[in-house]
Homo-oligomer: A and B are copies of this chain.
């Protein structure tokens, strides 16, 4: 279960891992806490939300995951009790073993508030008197943070790193389902709208280059831990996760059980 603030956040941070989970027969749920109704230059509101929802559904099909878009305003997310309770219910209904989301240190207030909401849901998912309409989980899930570049108050720590080299192309294809984002809004923001290729293949290639995140030395070390030094050297694409102290703290054995794609 991966929670993002917008209908493309989970995709970018965890899409490759999700594809691998799906191939292994695991059920994965992507959640967007907002409906994305602010993320465009010429469109907005409910009209935009509908486009983004249908793009998210298409992306879900491509990833092989279920995609759920909550109907909160984009760009105005707050860490309200009501939304916390919504997340608690979703985590319980999905009987999530692992909940993945952003750290509370991020440039976008929606991301920060999503992080707070997820932390606020941790532990509460096992308390029966909270959201009593939904049976509590027996065990607090493992909560993980996705990779980011922010250094303060402390940098992201890649406790778990997944080799997604073999599914990177599929990930980019799935991510590309968010047409209005990756080929319209984000290039517009970056002032590169005129560089977006027209042709489908070229668009995917362009996007693949854009979204390739650097494998830092710390991530390379983490990959070596999980896949062995040998294999780690040839990995070309990875997704990393930090263990959140507010959920269950898994040992290495449990991590390998939860992430069967990690090498032994």
Contacts and interface: CB of A to CB of B under 8 A. Distances in A.
Interface of A: 35, 37-50, 53, 69, 71, 73-76, 78, 80-82, 84-85, 105-109, 112, 119-120, 122-124, 126-134, 138, 149-154, 189, 191, 245-247
Contacts of A44: 37, 44-49, 129, 132
A85 B71 contact: yes
DSSP class of A's interface residues: helix, strand, loop or mixed? Answer: loop
Given A75-B124, A119-B109, A154-B152, A42 B47 contact: yes
B150 A45 contact: no
A45 B124 contact: no
A52 to B, nearest CB: 10
A8 to B, nearest CB: 15
Given A35-B133, A46-B128, 9 more contacts: A38-B129, A39-B127, A44-B47, A45-B129, A49-B132, A108-B123, A109-B119, A109-B123, A154-B154
30 contacts: A37-B129, A38-B129, A38-B130, A39-B129, A40-B47, A40-B129, A43-B43, A43-B45, A44-B45, A44-B46, A44-B47, A44-B132, A45-B46, A45-B48, A45-B129, A47-B132, A48-B129, A49-B132, A50-B132, A71-B85, A71-B133, A75-B129, A76-B130, A84-B109, A107-B245, A108-B123, A109-B119, A109-B124, A112-B120, A138-B191
B129 A46 contact: yes
A137 B210 CA distance: 24
Assembly stoichiometry (copies) = 6
Contacts of A134: 71
A78 B78 contact: no
B245 A132 contact: no
A128 B41 contact: yes
Contacts of A130: 38, 46, 75-76
Contact of A45 (B126, B132, B151, B245): B132
Contacts of A69: 133
A150 B154 CA distance: 14
Given A43-B47, A48-B45, A108-B123, A37 B151 contact: no
A181 to B, nearest CB: 13
Contacts of A42: 47
